[in-house]
């Protein structure tokens, strides 16, 4: 898993699939059309058995290639595994299908697609011999109503025709036209026979895909710890696949390997098992001579004494143990802060990926200080940070004050940020349930900072890029308390606004104070991002809607809140799910109240989200 100098987003996405899901990632959108898993537009994404074609030149149009022809795809529903293609048009001014030379639509029977029984098919311009078939070819058949009532089929009036529902054993894979039979066809999905022809939908042929099997593997290395590479019992050709350990499931809809059926991610044990005794290794000295040895011992002893003292400061107060790292250790772990180890640059400094001597992967954050603070003061702040410990907070493992800037060593959360996921190609992995559980986890983390940390910690920079996702897609709040390490004196505050544009409490401009309710405001914006998959600030929206909070508040006033919900979430959602989306939207708007006293506390936000989740889970039982 060597780090490569890739843009951060791409790196995060690659990391996601290298560490977590072993199937290939879902494909990027074709133009603006999302391409859900397992559909595949290139060998590097989706499942290759589900290949479709993206024609970028055609403005990003997807095509379905059958055995002998190609058809544009007009819609895709990932939740029902269905897609609709536009069937072959007529040769102009005739009642002959353009795909007559290739005998009509023929799916490869060994490909994982079939024609669904939602299609009503009309065979047109048939030879007389067909009239004795079991199809409905009577004079009252709907195909006559169609050719008599539709402009595009007007050439077919008075030709013998038949109607039927597709999906029988032979028509699951082909709609056959030929010179000696019928020469044209039309298909409609979910046709309401009661409607006049003028109100029928556009012609379309609906196909369904089989859910994909687990990804294939060459060996255990391809599968990771959540699954085992083993022979596929459904294949006699020696194919091996990654099979999930018991209690976990392959998720064929999202392509996520081995998720906990109750959670929303992969259930691998945490990558970070805690720090080993790396420091002890330093005692193993190779002795060249007695004097060198003594000299070395003296330095070592001095270093150890310093380390012990610092750890004592850090650990007084009963928090979980944090280590003091030496500058040398950190330099080694980060390959001397090599460019290819840079994970990102945040408001408080740069973050590097580090690999400790015992193999533990960590994130090393360089705190950029606004003004100089004494070592003791920094250590005191770090001590407070080290005592906050909650499953929804990114754990602080230790620090290093030897170099010019204090360095904080955090547990490494491998799966990128919430922002990356909402704005990247893996957005489809974030189901509504998954988004709700990310909302709950991060709200719990913030409530813990506000109400359980002593003294309370206000995050001051809550945003989706500060929420990391672990390999189970659990949300974890990062960067909390870093504002403590930066300056806090008032003279600086007015010149250097804390927080991030789009998330910043409007009351801040009144009194230049950030409180717990400022975090609640910023969290409200994060909730909107979860609901809408839109950016907090986006200049591609109309000028009045650039700010997501303002935009959604306007929709609420116009009683159209659901207009902003992510179309991918709304598609195929049950009425109940739509209701819970609305409820979360209203909660978010409550957090965005202009006056701080009208906003709920973080504790109340947690309770509200739990209530929303309880509605969805209670109902899904019956």
Catalogue the active-site residues: 461
Comparing CA positions, the residue from 162, 204, 267 lying closest to residue 74 is 204
140 is a site residue for ligand NAG (CB under 6 A): yes
Integer Cα distance of 271 and 361 in angstroms: 8
For ligand NAG, the binding residue among 42, 51, 61, 117 (CB under 6 A) is 117
Integer Cα distance of 382 and 398 in angstroms: 8
Task: Judge contact between 422 and 464, C-beta under 8 A.
Answer: yes
119 is a site residue for ligand NAG (CB under 6 A): no
**Token pair recorded at residue 250:** 């392959």
For ligand NAG, the binding residue among 74, 88, 119, 125 (CB under 6 A) is 125
For the bound state, the minimum distance from the C-beta of residue 123 to ligand NAG, rounded and expressed in Å, comes to 12
49 is a site residue for ligand NAG (CB under 6 A): no
Provide the H-helix boundaries in 32-141: none
For the bound state, the minimum distance from the C-beta of residue 233 to ligand NAG, rounded and expressed in Å, comes to 18
**Token pair recorded at residue 41:** 């537009």
365 is a site residue for ligand NAG (CB under 6 A): no
- The maximal CA–CA distance of the chain, rounded, in angstroms, is 110
For the bound state, the minimum distance from the C-beta of residue 193 to ligand NAG, rounded and expressed in Å, comes to 6
Q: Decide whether 117 or 249 has the Cβ nearer to ligand NAG.
A: 117
- 3-state SS, 224-289, equals CCCEEEEECCCCCCCCEEEEECCCCEEECCCCEEEECCCCCCECCCCCCCCCCCHHHHHHCCCCCC
Comparing CA positions, the residue from 54, 51, 163 lying closest to residue 107 is 51
Query: What contacts 12, CB < 8 A, 6 or more positions away?
Result: 415, 416, 417, 420, 424
Strand partners, 482: none
For ligand NAG, the binding residue among 98, 210, 355, 361 (CB under 6 A) is 210
For the bound state, the minimum distance from the C-beta of residue 203 to ligand NAG, rounded and expressed in Å, comes to 17
**How far is residue 308 from each of residues 304, 313, 375, measured CA to CA in Å?**
6, 9, 15
Comparing CA positions, the residue from 551, 616, 546 lying closest to residue 581 is 616
Q: Decide whether 140 or 491 has the Cβ nearer to ligand NAG.
A: 140
106 is a site residue for ligand NAG (CB under 6 A): yes
Q: Decide whether 9 or 91 has the Cβ nearer to ligand NAG.
A: 91
For ligand NAG, the binding residue among 96, 385, 439, 530 (CB under 6 A) is 96
Number of residues that bind ligand NAG (CB under 6 A): 27
For ligand NAG, the binding residue among 95, 205, 378, 605 (CB under 6 A) is 95
CA 580 to the chain's CA centroid: 20
For the bound state, the minimum distance from the C-beta of residue 26 to ligand NAG, rounded and expressed in Å, comes to 20
For the bound state, the minimum distance from the C-beta of residue 342 to ligand NAG, rounded and expressed in Å, comes to 46
- Give the DSSP letter of residue 193: T
Query: What contacts 353, CB < 8 A, 6 or more positions away?
Result: 3, 334, 341, 342, 343, 361, 362, 363, 364, 412
For ligand NAG, the binding residue among 94, 150, 220, 307 (CB under 6 A) is 94
For the bound state, the minimum distance from the C-beta of residue 159 to ligand NAG, rounded and expressed in Å, comes to 6
> Is 339 marked as a binding-site residue?
no
**Token pair recorded at residue 188:** 């409609």
Q: Decide whether 191 or 552 has the Cβ nearer to ligand NAG.
A: 191
167 is a site residue for ligand NAG (CB under 6 A): yes
For the bound state, the minimum distance from the C-beta of residue 179 to ligand NAG, rounded and expressed in Å, comes to 6
175 is a site residue for ligand NAG (CB under 6 A): no
**Token pair recorded at residue 5:** 């100098």
**What mask, x for binding ligand NAG by CB under 6 A, covers residues 182 to 201?**
-x------------------
Dihedral over Cα of 245, 248, 252, 256: its sign: negative
Strand partners, 399: 324, 408
Taking the CA atoms of residue 445, residue 447, residue 448 and residue 452 in that order, the dihedral angle to the nearest 10 degrees is: 170
Q: What share of the chain is helix, strand, coil (3-state, %, to 5)?
A: 35, 20, 45
Comparing CA positions, the residue from 507, 498, 500 lying closest to residue 592 is 507
148 is a site residue for ligand NAG (CB under 6 A): yes
Q: Which stretch binds ligand NAG (CB under 6 A): 98-106, 262-270, 292-300, 494-502?
A: 98-106
Task: Judge contact between 122 and 149, C-beta under 8 A.
Answer: no
For ligand NAG, the binding residue among 144, 341, 459, 463 (CB under 6 A) is 144
For ligand NAG, the binding residue among 9, 111, 145, 197 (CB under 6 A) is 145
Q: Decide whether 156 or 248 has the Cβ nearer to ligand NAG.
A: 156
Task: Judge contact between 448 and 466, C-beta under 8 A.
Answer: no
Integer Cα distance of 212 and 5 in angstroms: 33
Q: Which stretch binds ligand NAG (CB under 6 A): 90-98, 274-282, 492-500, 567-575?
A: 90-98
**Token pair recorded at residue 428:** 């489809």
Task: Judge contact between 400 and 409, C-beta under 8 A.
Answer: yes
127 is a site residue for ligand NAG (CB under 6 A): no
For the bound state, the minimum distance from the C-beta of residue 148 to ligand NAG, rounded and expressed in Å, comes to 4
For the bound state, the minimum distance from the C-beta of residue 125 to ligand NAG, rounded and expressed in Å, comes to 4
For ligand NAG, the binding residue among 23, 208, 431, 483 (CB under 6 A) is 208
Residues 533-572 that bind ligand NAG (CB under 6 A): none
Q: Decide whether 144 or 517 has the Cβ nearer to ligand NAG.
A: 144
Return the SS3 of 528: helix
Q: What is the total residue count of the chain?
A: 622
Residues 418-437 that bind ligand NAG (CB under 6 A): none
Q: Which stretch binds ligand NAG (CB under 6 A): 94-102, 261-269, 311-319, 371-379?
A: 94-102
Strand partners, 105: 175
102 is a site residue for ligand NAG (CB under 6 A): yes
Q: Decide whether 193 or 451 has the Cβ nearer to ligand NAG.
A: 193
79 is a site residue for ligand NAG (CB under 6 A): no
- Residue numbers in the known binding site for ATP are 365
Binding residues for ligand NAG, rule: CB under 6 A, are 67-68, 94-96, 102-103, 106, 114, 117, 125, 136, 138, 140-142, 144-145, 148, 155, 159, 167, 172, 179, 183, 208, 210
Positions at the binding site: 365
């Amino acid at each position: 898993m060597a780090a490569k100098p890739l843009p951060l987003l791409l790196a995060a996405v690659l990391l996601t699939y290298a560490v977590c899901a072993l199937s290939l990632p879902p494909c990027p959108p074709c133009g603006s059309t999302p391409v859900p898993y397992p559909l595949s537009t290139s060998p590097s994404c989706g499942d290759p058995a589900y290949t479709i074609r993206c024609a970028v030149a055609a403005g990003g149009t997807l095509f379905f290639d059958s055995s002998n022809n190609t058809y544009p795809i007009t819609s895709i529903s990932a939740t029902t595994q269905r897609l609709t293609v536009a069937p072959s048009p007529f040769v102009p001014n005739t009642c002959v299908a353009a795909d007559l030379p290739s005998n009509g639509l023929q799916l490869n029977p060994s490909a994982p697609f079939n024609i669904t029984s939602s299609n009503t098919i009309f065979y047109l311009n048939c030879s007389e011999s067909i009239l004795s078939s079991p199809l409905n070819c009577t004079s009252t058949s709907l195909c006559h109503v169609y050719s008599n009532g539709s402009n595009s089929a007007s050439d077919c009036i008075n030709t013998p025709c038949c109607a039927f529902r597709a999906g029988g054993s032979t028509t699951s894979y082909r709609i056959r036209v030929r010179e000696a039979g019928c020469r044209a066809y039309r298909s409609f999905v979910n046709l309401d026979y009661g409607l006049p022809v003028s109100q029928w939908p556009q012609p379309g042929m609906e196909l369904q895909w089989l859910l994909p099997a687990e990804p294939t593997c060459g060996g255990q290395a391809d599968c990771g710890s959540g699954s085992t590479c083993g022979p596929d019992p459904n294949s006699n050709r020696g194919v091996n696949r990654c099979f999930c350990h018991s209690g976990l499931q392959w998720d064929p809809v999202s392509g996520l390997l081995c998720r906990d059926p109750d959670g929303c991610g992969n259930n691998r044990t945490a990558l970070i098992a805690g720090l080993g005794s790396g420091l002890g290794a330093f005692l193993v000295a190779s002795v060249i001579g007695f004097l060198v040895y003594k000299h070395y011992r003296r330095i070592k002893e001095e270093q150890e004494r310093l380390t012990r003292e610092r750890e004592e400061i850090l650990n007084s107060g009963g928090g979980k143990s944090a280590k003091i790292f030496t500058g040398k250790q950190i330099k080694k772990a980060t390959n001397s802060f090599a460019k290819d180890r840079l994970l990102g640059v945040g408001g408080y400094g740069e973050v590097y990926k580090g690999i400790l001597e015992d193999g533990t992967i960590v994130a090393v954050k360089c705190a950029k200080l606004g003004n100089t603070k004494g070592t003791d003061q920094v250590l005191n702040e770090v001590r407070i940070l080290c005592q906050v410990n909650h499953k929804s907070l990114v754990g602080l493992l230790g620090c290093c004050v030897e170099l010019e800037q204090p360095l904080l060593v955090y547990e490494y959360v491998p799966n990128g940020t919430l922002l990356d996921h909402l704005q990247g190609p893996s957005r489809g992995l974030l189901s509504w349930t998954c988004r709700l559980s990310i909302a709950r986890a991060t709200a719990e983390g913030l409530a813990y900072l506000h109400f359980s940390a002593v003294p309370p910690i206000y995050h001051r920079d809550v945003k989706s890029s500060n929420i990391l996702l672990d390999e189970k897609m659990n949300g974890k709040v990062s960067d909390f308390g870093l504002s403590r390490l930066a300056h806090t004196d008032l003279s600086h505050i007015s010149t250097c606004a804390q927080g991030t544009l789009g998330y910043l409490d409007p009351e801040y401009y009144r009194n230049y104070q950030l409180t717990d309710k400022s975090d609640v405001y910023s969290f409200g914006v994060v909730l909107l991002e979860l609901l809408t998959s839109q950016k907090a600030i986006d200049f591609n929206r109309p000028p009045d809607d650039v700010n997501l909070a303002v935009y959604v508040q306007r929709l609420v006033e116009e009683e159209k809140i659901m207009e902003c919900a992510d179309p991918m979430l709304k598609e195929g959602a049950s009425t109940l799910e739509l209701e819970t989306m609305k409820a979360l939207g209203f909660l978010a708007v409550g957090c965005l109240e202009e006056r701080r006293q009208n906003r709920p506390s973080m504790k109340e936000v947690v309770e509200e989200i739990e209530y929303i989740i309880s509605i969805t889970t209670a109902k899904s039982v019956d």
